[in-house]
């Protein structure tokens, strides 16, 4: 049996499929969620400024990202930290809005409560990591965005 490459990690694992998570669901999730993000008066303008007329390409990249996050699809090759660091208008509170919209979208679209939690655990880790990198730890410094600057 030939070894799988990073570009071909194989099918969605059965435990993930059993939660109703597959490429079709990730596509629905991403399209629905970012439709809501674009309509949000606080974070929508930030995304529109960053992505402009390039939404089709960006949504395809996000689908690869979330498939890779959800079951290790190995299709995402971007660099989210530098991508977010380029936008000084991002504030720490925006991540809470993002997480709230993400949970709401999951609760409206996911087939199972387990799918909601599967994604939310990962989304919370992602938000926490980006917040730490962008804004540092209070008292320890080191943020890429210096809110005092």
pTM of the model: 0.85
Phi, psi (deg, nearest 5) at residue 104: -60, -45
Domain assignment of residue 48, yes or no: yes
**Looking at residue 1, what is its pLDDT?**
39
* Of 83 and 108, the one with more pLDDT: 108
Pick from 108, 111, 90: nearest CA to 35: 108
Domain at 116, CATH number: 1.10.490.10
Residue 137: beta bridge partners? 141
Contacting residues for 4 by C-beta, under 8 A, at least 6 apart? 10
Domain assignment of residue 81, yes or no: yes
Domain assignment of residue 143, yes or no: no
pLDDT over threshold 50, residue 149? no
**Structure token pair of residue 117:** 């939690």
Domain assignment of residue 11, yes or no: no
The residue range of the domain holding 102 is 19-135
Domain assignment of residue 149, yes or no: no
d(CA 92, CA 89) in angstroms, rounded, equals 10
Domain assignment of residue 14, yes or no: no
Domain assignment of residue 140, yes or no: no
**Looking at residue 11, what is its pLDDT?**
86
Q: Give me the chain's average pLDDT, please.
A: 89
| Three-state secondary-structure class, residue 137 | strand
65-75 pLDDT, tens digit each: 999 999 999 99
Residue 141: beta bridge partners? 137
Q: How many domains, the chain?
A: 1
pLDDT over threshold 90, residue 138? no
pLDDT over threshold 80, residue 96? yes
pLDDT band at 136 (very low <50, low <70, confident <90, very high): confident
Mean pLDDT of 85-98: 94
Domain assignment of residue 5, yes or no: no
15-26 pLDDT, tens digit each: 999 999 999 999
């Amino acid at each position: 049996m030939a070894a799988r490459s990073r570009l071909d990690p194989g099918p969605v694992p059965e435990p993930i499929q059993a939660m109703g998570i597959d490429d079709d669901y990730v596509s629905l999730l991403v399209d629905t969620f970012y439709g809501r993000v674009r309509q949000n008066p606080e974070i929508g303008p930030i995304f529109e400024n960053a992505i402009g007329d390039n939404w089709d390409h960006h949504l395809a990249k996000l689908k690869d990202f979330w498939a890779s996050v959800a079951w290790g699809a190995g299709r995402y090759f971007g660099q989210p930290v530098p991508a977010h660091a380029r936008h000084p208008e991002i504030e720490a509170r925006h991540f809470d809005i993002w997480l709230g919209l993400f949970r709401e979208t999951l609760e409206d679209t996911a087939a199972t409560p387990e799918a909601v939690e599967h994604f939310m655990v990962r989304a919370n880790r992602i938000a926490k990591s980006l917040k730490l990198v962008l804004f540092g730890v209070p008292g320890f410094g080191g943020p890429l965005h210096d809110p005092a600057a």
